[in-house]
Homo-oligomer: A and B are copies of this chain.
Protein backbone atom coordinates (compact mmCIF):
# COMPACT_ATOMS: atom_id res chain seq x y z
CA UNK A 1 0.00 0.00 0.00
CA UNK A 2 1.47 3.26 -1.12
CA UNK A 3 -0.02 6.68 -0.60
CA UNK A 4 0.87 10.35 -0.48
CA UNK A 5 0.90 12.02 2.89
CA UNK A 6 -2.27 13.91 2.10
CA UNK A 7 -4.37 10.82 1.46
CA UNK A 8 -6.08 8.91 4.19
CA UNK A 9 -5.11 5.35 4.92
CA UNK A 10 -7.06 3.01 2.73
CA UNK A 11 -8.54 -0.18 4.11
CA UNK A 12 -6.19 -3.00 3.31
CA UNK A 13 -6.97 -5.70 0.84
CA UNK A 14 -5.66 -9.20 0.78
CA UNK A 15 -5.46 -11.72 -2.03
CA UNK A 16 -8.07 -14.47 -1.82
CA UNK A 17 -5.42 -17.13 -1.25
CA UNK A 18 -4.02 -15.55 1.88
CA UNK A 19 -1.30 -17.59 3.46
CA UNK A 20 -2.13 -19.73 6.45
CA UNK A 21 -0.07 -18.41 9.32
CA UNK A 22 -0.22 -18.48 13.05
CA UNK A 23 -1.73 -15.24 14.24
CA UNK A 24 0.09 -14.46 17.48
CA UNK A 25 -1.20 -11.80 19.82
CA UNK A 26 0.22 -8.58 18.44
CA UNK A 27 3.47 -8.04 20.35
CA UNK A 28 3.85 -4.69 22.00
CA UNK A 29 6.90 -3.63 19.98
CA UNK A 30 5.68 -4.84 16.58
CA UNK A 31 4.65 -1.36 15.47
CA UNK A 32 6.44 1.68 16.80
CA UNK A 33 5.42 5.29 16.56
CA UNK A 34 7.96 7.96 17.43
CA UNK A 35 6.16 10.60 19.51
CA UNK A 36 8.95 13.20 19.41
CA UNK A 37 9.09 16.22 17.16
CA UNK A 38 12.20 15.75 15.01
CA UNK A 39 15.25 17.80 15.91
CA UNK A 40 15.91 20.69 13.57
CA UNK A 41 19.64 21.32 13.50
CA UNK A 42 19.52 23.40 10.32
CA UNK A 43 17.62 26.62 9.80
CA UNK A 44 15.15 26.77 6.95
CA UNK A 45 17.67 28.97 5.11
CA UNK A 46 20.39 26.35 5.49
CA UNK A 47 18.10 23.61 4.23
CA UNK A 48 17.30 25.73 1.20
CA UNK A 49 21.00 26.48 0.65
CA UNK A 50 21.73 22.75 0.59
CA UNK A 51 18.78 22.16 -1.71
CA UNK A 52 19.98 24.88 -4.06
CA UNK A 53 23.54 23.53 -4.09
CA UNK A 54 22.30 20.01 -4.85
CA UNK A 55 20.17 21.31 -7.73
CA UNK A 56 23.23 23.11 -9.12
CA UNK A 57 25.22 19.89 -8.84
CA UNK A 58 22.58 17.97 -10.82
CA UNK A 59 22.19 20.73 -13.42
CA UNK A 60 25.81 21.76 -13.91
CA UNK A 61 27.99 18.79 -12.98
CA UNK A 62 25.61 15.89 -13.38
CA UNK A 63 25.96 12.20 -12.58
CA UNK A 64 27.90 9.51 -14.33
CA UNK A 65 25.32 6.83 -15.15
CA UNK A 66 27.02 3.54 -16.04
CA UNK A 67 24.06 1.76 -17.63
CA UNK A 68 22.61 2.21 -21.09
CA UNK A 69 18.99 1.71 -20.05
CA UNK A 70 19.43 4.11 -17.16
CA UNK A 71 20.76 6.88 -19.41
CA UNK A 72 18.01 6.20 -21.96
CA UNK A 73 15.34 6.53 -19.29
CA UNK A 74 16.80 9.78 -17.99
CA UNK A 75 17.07 11.10 -21.58
CA UNK A 76 13.50 10.17 -22.43
CA UNK A 77 12.36 12.14 -19.37
CA UNK A 78 14.17 15.22 -20.64
CA UNK A 79 17.63 15.03 -19.08
CA UNK A 80 20.73 16.19 -20.97
CA UNK A 81 22.81 13.08 -21.61
CA UNK A 82 26.42 13.13 -22.80
CA UNK A 83 27.02 9.60 -24.08
CA UNK A 84 30.77 10.14 -24.47
CA UNK A 85 31.25 10.70 -20.75
CA UNK A 86 28.06 8.82 -19.70
CA UNK A 87 27.08 12.01 -17.87
CA UNK A 88 23.46 12.87 -17.14
CA UNK A 89 22.55 16.43 -16.23
CA UNK A 90 19.15 16.86 -14.61
CA UNK A 91 17.13 20.02 -14.67
CA UNK A 92 15.58 20.83 -11.28
CA UNK A 93 12.13 21.00 -12.83
CA UNK A 94 12.48 17.40 -13.98
CA UNK A 95 13.87 16.20 -10.64
CA UNK A 96 11.33 17.96 -8.46
CA UNK A 97 8.38 16.90 -10.60
CA UNK A 98 9.58 13.29 -10.47
CA UNK A 99 10.15 13.08 -6.73
CA UNK A 100 6.83 14.80 -6.07
CA UNK A 101 5.24 11.57 -7.34
CA UNK A 102 6.94 9.46 -4.67
CA UNK A 103 4.74 8.28 -1.80
CA UNK A 104 5.49 9.74 1.63
CA UNK A 105 3.96 6.74 3.39
CA UNK A 106 3.66 3.12 2.43
CA UNK A 107 3.16 -0.27 4.01
CA UNK A 108 5.43 -3.23 3.39
CA UNK A 109 3.45 -6.48 3.39
CA UNK A 110 4.98 -9.39 5.25
CA UNK A 111 3.92 -13.04 4.81
CA UNK A 112 2.52 -12.77 8.32
CA UNK A 113 0.17 -9.76 8.33
CA UNK A 114 1.12 -9.11 11.96
CA UNK A 115 4.60 -8.29 10.62
CA UNK A 116 3.51 -5.68 8.07
CA UNK A 117 5.69 -2.60 8.37
CA UNK A 118 4.52 1.00 8.06
CA UNK A 119 7.11 3.29 6.45
CA UNK A 120 6.96 7.08 6.72
CA UNK A 121 5.31 9.70 8.89
CA UNK A 122 5.93 9.03 12.56
CA UNK A 123 6.33 5.26 12.09
CA UNK A 124 9.76 3.78 12.73
CA UNK A 125 11.01 0.31 11.75
CA UNK A 126 14.14 -1.40 13.05
CA UNK A 127 16.21 -3.63 10.75
CA UNK A 128 19.08 -6.06 11.37
CA UNK A 129 22.67 -5.48 10.32
CA UNK A 130 23.42 -5.99 6.64
CA UNK A 131 26.19 -6.81 4.23
CA UNK A 132 29.10 -7.78 6.46
CA UNK A 133 31.84 -10.08 5.06
CA UNK A 134 32.69 -11.30 8.59
CA UNK A 135 30.79 -12.52 11.61
CA UNK A 136 32.02 -12.82 15.18
CA UNK A 137 31.08 -14.10 18.58
CA UNK A 138 32.99 -14.59 21.81
CA UNK A 139 33.12 -18.35 21.33
CA UNK A 140 34.55 -18.59 17.81
CA UNK A 141 36.04 -15.13 17.31
CA UNK A 142 35.97 -13.28 14.00
CA UNK A 143 35.56 -15.40 10.88
CA UNK A 144 34.23 -15.07 7.32
CA UNK A 145 30.47 -15.06 7.01
CA UNK A 146 28.67 -18.31 6.15
CA UNK A 147 25.15 -19.40 5.36
CA UNK A 148 24.98 -20.99 8.82
CA UNK A 149 25.87 -17.67 10.47
CA UNK A 150 23.40 -15.82 8.22
CA UNK A 151 20.68 -18.24 9.26
CA UNK A 152 21.47 -17.82 12.95
CA UNK A 153 21.19 -14.05 12.51
CA UNK A 154 17.80 -14.60 10.83
CA UNK A 155 16.72 -16.76 13.77
CA UNK A 156 17.68 -13.97 16.14
CA UNK A 157 15.80 -11.46 13.95
CA UNK A 158 12.69 -13.62 14.15
CA UNK A 159 12.98 -13.97 17.93
CA UNK A 160 12.72 -10.29 18.86
CA UNK A 161 9.58 -8.33 18.04
CA UNK A 162 11.57 -5.07 18.13
CA UNK A 163 13.21 -6.18 14.85
CA UNK A 164 10.70 -5.27 12.18
CA UNK A 165 12.48 -6.03 8.91
CA UNK A 166 15.36 -8.19 7.77
CA UNK A 167 18.66 -6.76 6.63
CA UNK A 168 21.11 -8.75 4.54
CA UNK A 169 23.04 -9.60 7.73
CA UNK A 170 26.32 -11.33 6.79
CA UNK A 171 27.55 -12.70 3.46
CA UNK A 172 27.49 -16.48 2.96
CA UNK A 173 30.95 -16.32 1.43
CA UNK A 174 31.18 -20.07 0.78
CA UNK A 175 28.39 -19.83 -1.81
CA UNK A 176 28.96 -18.78 -5.44
CA UNK A 177 28.01 -15.13 -5.83
CA UNK A 178 25.39 -15.89 -8.48
CA UNK A 179 23.59 -18.31 -6.12
CA UNK A 180 23.68 -16.30 -2.91
CA UNK A 181 20.39 -14.53 -3.58
CA UNK A 182 18.62 -17.90 -3.70
CA UNK A 183 19.93 -18.95 -0.30
CA UNK A 184 19.38 -15.46 1.09
CA UNK A 185 15.77 -15.31 0.05
CA UNK A 186 15.00 -18.94 0.90
CA UNK A 187 16.39 -18.56 4.42
CA UNK A 188 14.62 -15.26 5.07
CA UNK A 189 11.28 -16.70 3.93
CA UNK A 190 11.54 -19.96 5.87
CA UNK A 191 13.26 -18.87 9.07
CA UNK A 192 11.24 -15.71 9.58
CA UNK A 193 7.87 -14.23 8.68
CA UNK A 194 9.21 -10.68 8.44
CA UNK A 195 9.72 -8.42 5.41
CA UNK A 196 12.77 -9.67 3.47
CA UNK A 197 15.67 -7.81 1.92
CA UNK A 198 16.70 -8.32 -1.72
CA UNK A 199 20.14 -7.32 -2.98
CA UNK A 200 20.43 -5.28 -6.18
CA UNK A 201 22.84 -7.72 -7.78
CA UNK A 202 21.53 -7.78 -11.32
CA UNK A 203 18.24 -8.29 -13.14
CA UNK A 204 18.15 -12.08 -12.88
CA UNK A 205 18.91 -12.23 -9.17
CA UNK A 206 16.26 -9.59 -8.50
CA UNK A 207 13.67 -11.37 -10.65
CA UNK A 208 14.33 -14.73 -9.00
CA UNK A 209 14.12 -13.20 -5.53
CA UNK A 210 10.81 -11.57 -6.44
CA UNK A 211 9.53 -14.90 -7.77
CA UNK A 212 10.33 -16.59 -4.48
CA UNK A 213 8.69 -13.88 -2.39
CA UNK A 214 5.59 -14.15 -4.58
CA UNK A 215 5.56 -17.92 -3.99
CA UNK A 216 5.81 -17.42 -0.22
CA UNK A 217 2.85 -15.02 -0.38
CA UNK A 218 0.94 -17.40 -2.69
CA UNK A 219 0.65 -14.65 -5.30
CA UNK A 220 1.09 -14.51 -9.05
CA UNK A 221 3.29 -11.91 -10.75
CA UNK A 222 0.55 -9.32 -10.89
CA UNK A 223 -0.52 -9.89 -7.31
CA UNK A 224 3.08 -9.58 -6.14
CA UNK A 225 3.56 -6.20 -7.82
CA UNK A 226 0.37 -4.78 -6.34
CA UNK A 227 2.06 -3.86 -3.07
CA UNK A 228 5.63 -3.65 -1.76
CA UNK A 229 6.68 -6.91 -0.08
CA UNK A 230 10.44 -6.51 0.07
CA UNK A 231 13.03 -3.79 -0.24
CA UNK A 232 16.55 -3.09 -1.42
CA UNK A 233 19.29 -0.59 -0.68
CA UNK A 234 20.88 1.20 -3.63
CA UNK A 235 24.15 2.94 -2.81
CA UNK A 236 25.42 5.50 -5.26
CA UNK A 237 29.14 5.20 -5.97
CA UNK A 238 29.89 8.57 -4.50
CA UNK A 239 30.82 11.03 -5.77
CA UNK A 240 28.06 11.36 -8.36
CA UNK A 241 28.09 7.96 -9.98
CA UNK A 242 25.54 5.15 -10.34
CA UNK A 243 26.85 1.80 -11.48
CA UNK A 244 25.07 -0.74 -13.60
CA UNK A 245 23.91 -3.08 -10.81
CA UNK A 246 22.59 -0.17 -8.78
CA UNK A 247 20.73 1.21 -11.80
CA UNK A 248 19.16 -2.18 -12.50
CA UNK A 249 18.04 -2.19 -8.87
CA UNK A 250 16.39 1.22 -9.17
CA UNK A 251 14.69 0.22 -12.40
CA UNK A 252 13.52 -3.30 -11.49
CA UNK A 253 12.28 -2.37 -8.02
CA UNK A 254 10.31 0.54 -9.46
CA UNK A 255 8.84 -1.62 -12.24
CA UNK A 256 7.62 -4.21 -9.76
CA UNK A 257 6.50 -1.67 -7.15
CA UNK A 258 8.95 -2.78 -4.47
CA UNK A 259 10.67 -0.44 -2.00
CA UNK A 260 14.02 1.02 -3.06
CA UNK A 261 16.05 3.02 -0.53
CA UNK A 262 18.61 5.23 -2.23
CA UNK A 263 21.55 5.76 0.09
CA UNK A 264 24.56 7.77 -1.10
CA UNK A 265 27.81 6.66 0.49
CA UNK A 266 29.02 10.17 1.24
CA UNK A 267 31.91 9.94 3.68
CA UNK A 268 33.05 13.52 4.22
CA UNK A 269 36.71 13.92 3.34
CA UNK A 270 36.83 10.85 1.06
CA UNK A 271 33.87 10.38 -1.30
CA UNK A 272 32.36 13.77 -0.42
CA UNK A 273 33.60 17.22 0.61
CA UNK A 274 35.28 17.49 4.00
CA UNK A 275 32.62 19.99 5.11
CA UNK A 276 29.27 18.68 6.34
CA UNK A 277 27.27 21.14 4.23
CA UNK A 278 29.11 20.02 1.10
CA UNK A 279 28.74 16.33 1.91
CA UNK A 280 25.01 16.86 2.54
CA UNK A 281 24.57 18.77 -0.73
CA UNK A 282 26.23 15.91 -2.59
CA UNK A 283 24.18 13.30 -0.67
CA UNK A 284 21.03 15.20 -1.55
CA UNK A 285 21.93 15.42 -5.25
CA UNK A 286 22.70 11.70 -5.47
CA UNK A 287 19.65 10.59 -3.49
CA UNK A 288 17.24 12.76 -5.47
CA UNK A 289 18.71 11.72 -8.82
CA UNK A 290 18.18 8.03 -8.05
CA UNK A 291 14.74 8.55 -6.56
CA UNK A 292 13.78 10.62 -9.61
CA UNK A 293 14.76 7.71 -11.86
CA UNK A 294 12.49 5.37 -9.92
CA UNK A 295 9.62 7.82 -10.42
CA UNK A 296 10.46 8.16 -14.12
CA UNK A 297 10.20 4.37 -14.43
CA UNK A 298 6.94 4.19 -12.53
CA UNK A 299 5.28 7.21 -10.95
CA UNK A 300 4.43 6.46 -7.35
CA UNK A 301 7.10 3.76 -6.98
CA UNK A 302 7.87 3.21 -3.28
CA UNK A 303 11.18 4.82 -2.32
CA UNK A 304 12.98 6.22 0.68
CA UNK A 305 15.72 8.79 1.15
CA UNK A 306 18.82 7.26 2.71
CA UNK A 307 21.23 9.38 4.72
CA UNK A 308 24.58 7.79 5.53
CA UNK A 309 26.86 10.83 5.60
CA UNK A 310 29.68 10.41 8.07
CA UNK A 311 33.31 11.42 8.23
CA UNK A 312 36.59 9.57 7.82
CA UNK A 313 39.49 9.49 10.22
CA UNK A 314 41.67 12.10 8.54
CA UNK A 315 44.80 10.40 9.87
CA UNK A 316 44.11 7.08 8.14
CA UNK A 317 41.21 7.62 5.76
CA UNK A 318 39.25 4.96 7.67
CA UNK A 319 35.49 5.54 7.90
CA UNK A 320 34.17 6.64 11.28
CA UNK A 321 30.59 6.27 12.50
CA UNK A 322 28.58 7.51 15.45
CA UNK A 323 30.79 10.60 15.51
CA UNK A 324 29.52 14.10 16.31
CA UNK A 325 29.63 14.85 12.58
CA UNK A 326 27.56 11.73 11.93
CA UNK A 327 24.89 12.82 14.43
CA UNK A 328 24.66 16.27 12.87
CA UNK A 329 24.44 14.81 9.37
CA UNK A 330 21.68 12.48 10.57
CA UNK A 331 19.58 15.32 11.98
CA UNK A 332 20.11 17.29 8.76
CA UNK A 333 19.28 14.30 6.54
CA UNK A 334 15.96 13.87 8.31
CA UNK A 335 15.15 17.51 7.62
CA UNK A 336 16.09 17.10 3.96
CA UNK A 337 13.99 13.95 3.50
CA UNK A 338 10.99 15.68 5.07
CA UNK A 339 11.51 18.72 2.84
CA UNK A 340 10.73 16.41 -0.11
CA UNK A 341 7.99 14.42 1.67
CA UNK A 342 10.07 11.23 1.55
CA UNK A 343 10.49 8.55 4.22
CA UNK A 344 13.97 8.75 5.75
CA UNK A 345 16.34 5.87 6.33
CA UNK A 346 19.18 6.14 8.87
CA UNK A 347 21.40 3.58 10.64
CA UNK A 348 22.75 2.26 13.95
CA UNK A 349 26.46 2.27 13.21
CA UNK A 350 29.86 2.39 14.87
CA UNK A 351 33.50 1.89 13.90
CA UNK A 352 34.54 -0.27 16.85
CA UNK A 353 36.33 -3.64 16.71
CA UNK A 354 34.70 -5.19 19.79
CA UNK A 355 31.32 -5.05 21.56
CA UNK A 356 32.69 -2.74 24.26
CA UNK A 357 32.01 0.75 25.61
CA UNK A 358 33.06 2.43 22.34
CA UNK A 359 30.70 0.25 20.30
CA UNK A 360 27.91 1.19 22.69
CA UNK A 361 28.52 4.93 22.79
CA UNK A 362 29.01 5.22 19.03
CA UNK A 363 25.87 3.15 18.45
CA UNK A 364 23.92 5.25 20.92
CA UNK A 365 25.06 8.42 19.16
CA UNK A 366 23.82 6.95 15.86
CA UNK A 367 20.56 5.80 17.43
CA UNK A 368 19.74 9.13 19.02
CA UNK A 369 20.73 10.95 15.82
CA UNK A 370 18.36 8.71 13.89
CA UNK A 371 15.49 8.60 16.34
CA UNK A 372 15.45 12.20 17.55
CA UNK A 373 15.89 13.10 13.89
CA UNK A 374 12.65 11.31 13.01
CA UNK A 375 14.03 8.34 11.10
CA UNK A 376 11.53 5.90 9.55
CA UNK A 377 13.78 2.96 8.69
CA UNK A 378 16.75 2.17 10.91
CA UNK A 379 19.17 -0.03 8.99
CA UNK A 380 21.90 -1.99 10.78
CA UNK A 381 19.73 -1.76 13.86
CA UNK A 382 21.21 -4.88 15.45
CA UNK A 383 24.61 -6.52 15.06
CA UNK A 384 26.80 -4.05 13.19
CA UNK A 385 30.43 -3.79 14.27
CA UNK A 386 33.73 -2.64 12.76
CA UNK A 387 32.24 -0.09 10.36
CA UNK A 388 30.14 -2.83 8.80
CA UNK A 389 32.83 -5.43 8.26
CA UNK A 390 31.51 -7.73 10.98
CA UNK A 391 28.14 -8.90 12.23
CA UNK A 392 28.62 -9.58 15.93
CA UNK A 393 26.20 -11.87 17.71
CA UNK A 394 26.86 -10.16 21.04
CA UNK A 395 26.41 -6.72 19.50
CA UNK A 396 23.11 -7.96 18.04
CA UNK A 397 21.81 -8.62 21.55
CA UNK A 398 23.23 -5.38 22.98
CA UNK A 399 21.49 -3.52 20.15
CA UNK A 400 18.21 -5.31 20.77
CA UNK A 401 18.45 -4.13 24.38
CA UNK A 402 18.95 -0.54 23.19
CA UNK A 403 16.14 -0.79 20.61
CA UNK A 404 13.77 -2.20 23.24
CA UNK A 405 14.67 0.72 25.49
CA UNK A 406 13.73 3.14 22.72
CA UNK A 407 10.45 1.30 22.17
CA UNK A 408 9.74 1.93 25.84
CA UNK A 409 10.82 5.60 25.64
CA UNK A 410 8.31 6.02 22.79
CA UNK A 411 5.40 4.89 24.99
CA UNK A 412 3.45 7.82 26.42
CA UNK A 413 3.75 8.91 30.05
CA UNK A 414 0.25 8.55 31.46
CA UNK A 415 -0.76 11.45 33.69
CA UNK A 416 -4.23 10.50 34.92
CA UNK A 417 -5.42 10.55 38.54
CA UNK A 418 -4.45 6.93 39.01
CA UNK A 419 -0.83 7.46 37.91
CA UNK A 420 -0.47 10.75 39.75
CA UNK A 421 -0.88 8.51 42.81
CA UNK A 422 -1.97 11.12 45.34
CA UNK A 423 -3.65 8.44 47.43
CA UNK A 424 -0.49 6.36 47.51
CA UNK A 425 1.61 9.37 48.48
CA UNK A 426 -0.90 10.14 51.24
CA UNK A 427 -0.90 6.49 52.40
CA UNK A 428 2.91 6.27 52.58
CA UNK A 429 3.40 9.75 54.01
CA UNK A 430 6.64 11.58 54.81
CA UNK A 431 9.61 9.31 55.51
CA UNK A 432 7.87 6.06 54.49
CA UNK A 433 8.52 3.83 51.54
CA UNK A 434 6.47 2.58 48.60
CA UNK A 435 7.62 -1.02 48.35
CA UNK A 436 4.58 -2.36 50.19
CA UNK A 437 2.00 0.21 49.07
CA UNK A 438 -1.11 -1.17 47.38
CA UNK A 439 -0.48 1.17 44.43
CA UNK A 440 2.97 -0.39 43.97
CA UNK A 441 1.91 -3.99 44.46
CA UNK A 442 -0.81 -3.68 41.83
CA UNK A 443 1.68 -2.47 39.22
CA UNK A 444 5.25 -3.49 39.99
CA UNK A 445 5.43 -6.53 37.72
CA UNK A 446 4.92 -4.50 34.57
CA UNK A 447 5.71 -0.98 35.73
CA UNK A 448 9.20 -0.80 34.26
CA UNK A 449 11.16 -2.04 31.29
CA UNK A 450 12.70 -5.43 32.12
CA UNK A 451 16.21 -5.51 30.65
CA UNK A 452 17.69 -8.26 28.53
CA UNK A 453 21.38 -7.67 29.26
CA UNK A 454 21.68 -4.92 31.87
CA UNK A 455 22.91 -6.33 35.17
CA UNK A 456 21.78 -4.40 38.23
CA UNK A 457 23.10 -6.75 40.87
CA UNK A 458 25.34 -5.17 43.46
CA UNK A 459 29.09 -5.35 42.96
CA UNK A 460 29.54 -8.24 45.41
CA UNK A 461 26.88 -10.46 43.84
CA UNK A 462 28.13 -9.63 40.35
CA UNK A 463 31.73 -10.38 41.33
CA UNK A 464 30.75 -13.70 42.90
CA UNK A 465 29.02 -14.59 39.63
CA UNK A 466 32.35 -14.16 37.84
CA UNK A 467 32.02 -10.42 37.03
CA UNK A 468 30.55 -11.06 33.57
CA UNK A 469 30.73 -7.94 31.42
CA UNK A 470 27.90 -6.84 29.14
CA UNK A 471 29.37 -8.63 26.09
CA UNK A 472 29.57 -11.93 28.01
CA UNK A 473 25.98 -11.58 29.23
CA UNK A 474 24.88 -10.74 25.66
CA UNK A 475 26.65 -13.89 24.51
CA UNK A 476 24.58 -15.94 26.94
CA UNK A 477 21.37 -14.27 25.77
CA UNK A 478 22.23 -14.97 22.12
CA UNK A 479 22.85 -18.65 22.84
CA UNK A 480 19.66 -18.93 24.90
CA UNK A 481 17.66 -17.19 22.20
CA UNK A 482 18.88 -19.52 19.46
CA UNK A 483 18.12 -22.53 21.64
CA UNK A 484 14.56 -21.29 22.15
CA UNK A 485 14.03 -20.23 18.52
CA UNK A 486 10.88 -21.47 16.81
CA UNK A 487 10.42 -21.32 13.06
CA UNK A 488 7.23 -19.62 11.85
CA UNK A 489 4.57 -21.82 10.32
CA UNK A 490 4.42 -22.00 6.57
CA UNK A 491 1.97 -23.75 4.27
CA UNK A 492 3.73 -27.02 3.24
CA UNK A 493 2.80 -26.50 -0.41
CA UNK A 494 4.43 -23.09 -0.46
CA UNK A 495 7.49 -24.44 1.26
CA UNK A 496 7.74 -27.19 -1.37
CA UNK A 497 7.31 -24.64 -4.14
CA UNK A 498 10.14 -22.56 -2.71
CA UNK A 499 12.44 -25.57 -2.35
CA UNK A 500 11.65 -26.60 -5.88
CA UNK A 501 12.23 -23.10 -7.24
CA UNK A 502 15.67 -22.92 -5.64
CA UNK A 503 16.64 -26.36 -6.94
CA UNK A 504 15.59 -25.45 -10.49
CA UNK A 505 17.30 -22.04 -10.35
CA UNK A 506 20.52 -23.63 -9.05
CA UNK A 507 20.52 -26.05 -11.96
CA UNK A 508 19.99 -23.09 -14.29
CA UNK A 509 22.82 -21.17 -12.67
CA UNK A 510 25.22 -24.12 -12.67
Give the distance in Å from the alpha carbon of A88 to the alpha carbon of B311 in the complex: 58
Whether A61 and B425, one on each chain, are in contact in the complex, defined by CB atoms closer than 8 angstroms, is yes
Give the distance in Å from the alpha carbon of A454 to the alpha carbon of B321 in the complex: 10
In chain B, what residue has the closest Cβ to A134? Answer: B459
Whether A439 and B274, one on each chain, are in contact in the complex, defined by CB atoms closer than 8 angstroms, is yes
Contact of A316 among B311, B456, B459 (CB under 8 A): B456
Whether B445 and A314, one on each chain, are in contact in the complex, defined by CB atoms closer than 8 angstroms, is yes
Of A98-106, A118-126, A254-262, A350-358, the stretch lying at the interface with chain B is A350-358
- When A351-B456, A444-B314, A456-B320 are in contact, do A273 and B424 touch as well, CB less than 8 Å? yes
Give the distance in Å from the alpha carbon of A131 to the alpha carbon of B199 in the complex: 54
Give the distance in Å from the alpha carbon of A103 to the alpha carbon of B285 in the complex: 48
In chain B, what residue has the closest Cβ to A459? Answer: B353
Whether A277 and B413, one on each chain, are in contact in the complex, defined by CB atoms closer than 8 angstroms, is yes
A 442-463 binary contact with B (CB < 8 Å = 1; else 0) = 0111011101011111110011
Whether B413 and A46, one on each chain, are in contact in the complex, defined by CB atoms closer than 8 angstroms, is yes
For the complex, count residues of A whose C-beta is within 8 A of B: 124
Contact of A356 among B314, B390, B458, B470 (CB under 8 A): B470
Question: A364 in the interface, Cβ–Cβ < 8 Å?
Answer: yes
A 402-423 binary contact with B (CB < 8 Å = 1; else 0) = 1001101100011110111110
Of A7-15, A35-43, A159-167, the stretch lying at the interface with chain B is A35-43
Q: Which residues of B contact A360 (CB under 8 A)?
A: 356-361, 364
Question: A282 in the interface, Cβ–Cβ < 8 Å?
Answer: yes
Question: A237 in the interface, Cβ–Cβ < 8 Å?
Answer: yes
Q: Which residues of B contact A368 (CB under 8 A)?
A: 364, 368, 372
A 179-199 binary contact with B (CB < 8 Å = 1; else 0) = 000000000000000000000
Whether A454 and B420, one on each chain, are in contact in the complex, defined by CB atoms closer than 8 angstroms, is no
| Minimum CB–CB distance for A179 against chain B, Å | 28
In chain B, what residue has the closest Cβ to A442? Answer: B274
A 320-332 binary contact with B (CB < 8 Å = 1; else 0) = 1001110110001
Contact of A239 among B357, B389, B432, B455 (CB under 8 A): B432
In chain B, what residue has the closest Cβ to A328? Answer: B413
Q: Which residues of B contact A332 (CB under 8 A)?
A: 413
Q: Which residues of B contact A401 (CB under 8 A)?
A: 361
Contact of A462 among B46, B268, B353, B454 (CB under 8 A): B353
| Minimum CB–CB distance for A142 against chain B, Å | 7
Of A50-58, A224-232, A337-345, the stretch lying at the interface with chain B is A50-58
Q: Can you report 5 A-B residue pairs in the complex whose CB atoms are below 8 A from each other?
A: A61-B425, A318-B458, A353-B457, A353-B467, A357-B359
Interface residues of A, Cβ cutoff 8 Å to B: 35-37, 39-42, 45-46, 49-50, 53, 56-57, 60-64, 87, 142, 237, 239-241, 268-278, 281-282, 311, 313-314, 316-320, 323-325, 327-328, 332, 351-365, 368, 372, 386-387, 389-390, 398, 401-402, 405-406, 408-409, 413-416, 418-422, 424-426, 428-435, 437, 439-440, 443-445, 447-449, 451, 453-459, 462-463, 467, 469-471, 474
Known: A46-B413, A272-B434, A323-B449. 16 other contacts (CB 8 A): A36-B39, A46-B415, A49-B420, A50-B415, A61-B425, A87-B430, A273-B425, A274-B439, A276-B419, A277-B416, A281-B420, A324-B408, A353-B457, A360-B364, A361-B364, A390-B459
